[in-house]
Amino acid sequence: MKIAFVFDSLGFGGIEKVGIDYIKICCRFGHDVDVYNLNPEREELVETLPESVCYRRFKFNRKLCPELYSYGVQKWWWGKYAYAILSPFVSFAQAVRKVFSKHRKYDVAIAFAGHINDLSFVAKNFIKSKKKICWCHGNILSYFAICDAYPILYKKIDGFVVLSSAGQKDIYPGHRFMYEKKIYQIYNPTFISDKQVDGSIVQELREKYGDFMLMVARMEDRKGQNVAMDVLKKMLADGYDKHLVFVGGGDLLEHYKEYAKTLGIEARCHFVGEHENMQDYYAAAHINILTSKWEGLPTVIVEGMTMGKPCVMTNTDDGEVSGNGKYCMLHAVGDVEGLTRDIEALYSDEALYQKYCDLSLQRAKDFCAEAVSIRLNEIL
């Protein structure tokens, strides 16, 4: 089967890394895979693609998508007028671009990021395909709630992959065309256990940071690193002299560094940037935490579970990964008191700590590559 995976970029990011995992699975099953990067300026992860993949750069800015401007309809009173004026001109520019594009043919085309530009690229046949799939990194209802661009483009899509079925029944009122679409649920696979842990690096990290807390996320507002720092400040005040290590880069890195200084915790709060050897960090960490405002499916929690580490998180994904609090400690977004209480309990109660180590390993089985691979091949 000839498959096209379309991304809005291939920079460091959770969606991109998950996409590459699925590409590897497709290659293992013998499928012929092409990968399109619609933002060639961001291609840090290209080197991680399998050698058999054909990598194609195709600059396709979101600003060339008329649907993008529907965001303004909900945001500003004048948004609907701006959309009505801009949409015809942008649509014409996009149509001209399409005329001069090479329309390669595929059995399946997947808009993997599920964002406006890669979704438009697939939905509007910039490449030809017998079937079109949109990958939703969460539940599909959340995309309908963002803006009208998504239902407009979804009409041209054959099937959808979701990570969670939460609220799915609520998409049909007002969008009857969705009754004709296929919706499949599948978990993201994790290959973190396949990677060799470097014992010397693990020892070095533990000597440097002790039994530290680890948060892996891009430095952006929705990830909520400020909440994790608020938790650390409270723990230090309660007598828990622990370190918090942040892995990830992003636009708000300097902002969060300043916030740590404002709280007076910069000596115990460490920003180490982006790293490829995440298995060493998970292995060295004592507790894996995530304080995001929302996530599709938090891969970093799954990876922490796979490495057998207790996880404490905010309810960013409708309780999907945590089993509504069964497999890891779950709290409302922004609940500093609750997060602090449970993290302190894990540090002070060895039996409780071991319980959540075991629960993490138990839940991680649902995300193993073998189970996900079988499901993916069924969908294709």
The stretch 318-334 carries a mean pLDDT of 92
User: What dihedral angle (degrees, nearest 10) is formed by the CA atoms of 124, 130, 136, 141?
Assistant: 80
Whether the domain at 2-185 and the domain at 192-367 fall into the same CATH topology: yes
Structure tokens that stand for 142 in this block: 């959340």
* Domain assignments of the chain as residue spans, ordered by start: 2-185, 192-367
More confidently predicted of 356 and 100: 356
Q: Confirm if 152 and 71 have CB atoms less than 8 A apart.
A: no
Using DSSP's 3-state secondary structure scheme, residue 239 falls into: coil
Domain 192-367 in CATH: superfamily? Glycogen Phosphorylase B; (3.40.50.2000)
Residues 6+ away with beta carbon under 8 Å from 342: 312, 329, 331
Count Cβ neighbours within 10 Å for each residue of 334-351 and write b for 16 or more, e otherwise.
ebbebbbbbbbebbeeee
Q: Is 106 helix (H, G, I), strand (E, B) or coil?
A: strand
Regarding the domain delimited by 2-185, which CATH topology (the fold level of the hierarchy) does it fall under? Rossmann fold (3.40.50)
Q: What is the CA radius of gyration of the chain?
A: 22
Does pLDDT of 141 surpass 80? yes
CA distance 291 to 56: 36
Task: Judge contact between 137 and 15, C-beta under 8 A.
Answer: yes
Instruction: Note the pLDDT tens digit of each residue in 348-376.
Output: 999 999 999 999 999 999 888 888 888 89
Reference 167, options 183, 190, 152; nearest CA is 183
Nearest to 139 by CA among 169, 111, 112: 169
Question: pLDDT for 215-271, tens place per residue?
Answer: 999 999 999 999 999 999 999 999 999 999 999 999 999 999 999 999 999 999 999
Instruction: Please count the CA atoms within 13 angstroms of the CA of 138 that sit on its side-chain side.
Output: 21
Contact in structure between 4 and 111 (CB atoms under 8 Å): no
Q: Is the pLDDT of residue 54 over 90?
A: yes
Confidence of residue 7 (pLDDT cuts 50, 70, 90): very high
Task: Please say if the pLDDT value at position 101 is more than 80.
Answer: yes
The pLDDT value recorded for residue 352 is 98
